[in-house]
Structure 1
Amino acid sequence: MTIYHLVDDAGFGGVNRMLDHLTRALGQGAGEHKLVRVKRGQLSPPRLADASHIVSHLSVCWKNMPLMTALRARYAETPLVHVEHSYSERFVTARVENRDRFETLLSAAYALFDKVVAVSAQQGQWLGRKFVSGNRLAVIEPCVALDDFFALPDRLPAGKTVIGAIGRFDSQKGFDILIEGLRRSNRKDIELHVYGSGADEKHLKKLSGKDPRIVFKGYAESPAAAMAACDVIAMPSRFEPYGLVALEAMAAGRPVIASGADGLAGHIANGAAGVGDNTPDGWARFLDEFEVNTFRRGAVSRRKQAKEAEQIFADRWLQLLGDLTEHPLRFQMAA
């Protein structure tokens, strides 16, 4: 088999890190995986010689609809899969003004594919209710290379408790909520280390008010190195289809405090602590009450769960590709 993965994301974020891990994790036993980069909005699909499967990691947007439609037409007899990395129910609440137009876009795009892959059970429930029915929907939680996180030693008590927040400086991640929450907290034995960069950097630094408990550490070239310096990882996201940072923290043995947004609810079900009220006041109450030594317990169990997640990720991709090979769902172009 030759499986082509199409991606229009040029950054080394979660999508590309997942693809790098996917090609390594499946190895040669699941065919040859080839990454093909396309330009968002290009009109013609690439020529993919001898493709047994084509997997789209493309952004679903009106600009990409001509490309997706042409892809389906050119490869009408080839199983096509789309992985939905971006959208979720809370995304719609936070970012979408014209919901009818947005839902029309997603319905039209997903109809072009034999399978649509959700990246969390929570995202999958939303997609199943709104857009994709029956066996056309699969759930495969993403994974990235975790060896550097598994290699980290357990974090031992040492003075102040360091809470880490790692990610893009974008309103999605909710770092403003966390910063305001800490500023309202009475705790003096806590530091918040914020790792990242992005458009909201000036806003976040202004919100911090030069509070000595809040330290901006810059962009983390090595997320594992950043996590090594943290006792706890906080994820106050407003929306989050999955939340790779939570999996990385699990592999590092670090406890996670998270909002219940979308896929983060799944991480809470697997042992992360839910903040409950994802507002500044909610975080202030949580921080005033939490005991870090209680959180530290269970590092071995967290690492074991992360190791199991690696295997589940590979198994589900193998199953998906195998099912489409043995019983391919053929797409019929309208007459």
Structure 2
Amino acid sequence: MTVYHLVDDAGFGGVNRMLDHLAATIGNDEEKHDIVRIRRGQLSAPRLSDAKAVISHLSVCWRNMPLITALRARYAATPLIHVEHSYSERFVAAQVKNRDRFETLVAAAYALFDTVVAVSPQQGQWLGRKFVDPERLAIISPCVDLDDFFALPDPVKSGKTVIGALGRFDRQKGFDILIEGFVRSVRQDFELHFYGSGAQEQQLKALAGNDPRIVFHGYVEHPAAAMARCDMIAMPSRFEPYGLVALEAMAAGRPVIASSADGLAGHIENGAIAVGDNTPDGWARFLNAFDVHAGLGDSGRGRACARRAGDRFLDGWLALLQALSGQSNRLQMAA
């Protein structure tokens, strides 16, 4: 039997790295995990043989509704699960202009799945209030292979403190907020290093101007290699259903300074440092007052938290798949 994971994200981002880790970790001779690449907007459902479950990591959008509907029709006797990687309460506040149209889309899509998986408790609470009955909702926070991050030595305070910012140069990530705040700060013992690329690159470089404390390194294929060059990590996201970079930073023993957007609030509960006011002025005030020695003092807590998160990720998926075995039998009998 095979568990099929359908994904329409072609980038080397968190979703694909999570899927690679999941397939490599829990797949076995009796149950394979296959990743199937889907073209966004395609109309027909793929033909999947011996499917124990079909798990969607697809974008819930109007272009994909014919595909999602076709999946439900073709696999009526197979558990159909959706993992919501994109939407969150802060996403709606920041990005959605027509709330009624958005809520109609999401409600219609989720109704076609047997189970919806939230990637953080914060996102799950929002989904449970708005879209999904509790009995159809599971919460499994993502994880990737963290071995390279655990292998990094703790940062050592010597010379200037390097604050790293990793990820897509997209409005979601709030890097523009961070740069404006950093430029306004008076700290000459800090440097701000960016690792990534994206549509906002020229805008971000323009905001940085000629500030010699801000460095752009471009895209780095291996996040642990970038993390090794940083003393701490900043996450000024406007919305963030989970925030995988925070987990990687904790595994690397790097303090995380973050907004409280969506899933980042959960990382703050687990030891990340709350910036408070996620505005340029808020970041400037935070940086001006930040005690570096205190901030770099407790890497052990973050690493322990990351290990527990890895265990919960695997336990969560194993429990869900075990529950689906019984559900699959019931659906097949009903069919």
Q: TM-score, normalised by structure 2?
A: 0.97
- Residues 8, 59 of structure 1: 8 Å contact kept: yes
- Residues 79, 329 of structure 1: 8 Å contact kept: no
Distance 1:30 1:60 in 2: 31
Is 1:83 the counterpart of 2:102? The answer is: no
- Residues 114, 331 of structure 1: 8 Å contact kept: no
1:199 — aligned with what? 199
2:20 — aligned with what? 20
Unaligned runs of 5+ in 2: none
Report the alpha carbon displacement of residue 331 of structure 1 after superposing the two structures with TM. 7.3
Opposite residue 178 of structure 2, the aligned amino acid is L
2:253 — aligned with what? 253
- Give RMSD over aligned pairs: 1.4
- Residues 251, 307 of structure 2: 8 Å contact kept: yes
Report the alpha carbon displacement of residue 327 of structure 1 after superposing the two structures with TM. 3.7
Report the alpha carbon displacement of residue 329 of structure 1 after superposing the two structures with TM. 9.2
1:123 — aligned with what? 123
Three-state SS of the structure 1 residue aligned to 2:194 is: strand
2:102 — aligned with what? 102
1:179 — aligned with what? 179
Distance 2:155 2:198 in 1: 29
Report the alpha carbon displacement of residue 27 of structure 1 after superposing the two structures with TM. 3.3
Q: What do the CA deviations read for 1:221-278 (whole angstroms, capped 9, x no partner)?
A: 2211111111110000000000000000011000000000000000000000000000
1:278 — aligned with what? 278
Q: What do the CA deviations read for 1:29-78 (whole angstroms, capped 9, x no partner)?
A: 77210111111111110111110111000100000000100110111010
Q: 1:238 to 1:330 in 2, by over 3 A?
A: farther
Three-state SS of the structure 2 residue aligned to 1:319 is: helix
2:319 — aligned with what? 319
Structure-to-structure mapping, 1:1-335, within 5 angstroms: 1-28=1-28, 31-328=31-328
Q: 1:116 to 1:29 in 2, by over 3 A?
A: farther
Tell me the number of residue pairs that the alignment of Structure 1 and Structure 2 aligns: 332
Report the alpha carbon displacement of residue 330 of structure 1 after superposing the two structures with TM. 6.5
Opposite residue 138 of structure 1, the aligned amino acid is A
Q: 1:22 to 1:174 in 2, by over 3 A?
A: same
Opposite residue 51 of structure 2, the aligned amino acid is A
Distance 1:224 1:261 in 2: 24
Three-state SS of the structure 2 residue aligned to 1:218 is: coil
Opposite residue 60 of structure 2, the aligned amino acid is V
Opposite residue 38 of structure 2, the aligned amino acid is V
* Identical amino acids, percent of aligned pairs: 71
Opposite residue 91 of structure 2, the aligned amino acid is F
- Residues 52, 328 of structure 2: 8 Å contact kept: no
Distance 1:215 1:329 in 2: 56
Distance 2:93 2:288 in 1: 29
- Residues 167, 196 of structure 2: 8 Å contact kept: yes
Report the alpha carbon displacement of residue 301 of structure 1 after superposing the two structures with TM. 1.8
Three-state SS of the structure 2 residue aligned to 1:113 is: coil
Q: TM-score, normalised by structure 1?
A: 0.97
Distance 2:257 2:85 in 1: 22
- Residues 250, 302 of structure 2: 8 Å contact kept: yes
Q: What do the CA deviations read for 1:291-334 (whole angstroms, capped 9, x no partner)?
A: 111111221221111111111100000000111112449679xx
Opposite residue 293 of structure 2, the aligned amino acid is N
Q: 1:80 to 1:25 in 2, by over 3 A?
A: same
Q: What do the CA deviations read for 1:90-138 (whole angstroms, capped 9, x no partner)?
A: 1111111111000000000000000000000000011000000121000
Distance 1:145 1:24 in 2: 10
Three-state SS of the structure 2 residue aligned to 1:317 is: helix
Opposite residue 282 of structure 1, the aligned amino acid is G
Unaligned runs of 5+ in 1: none
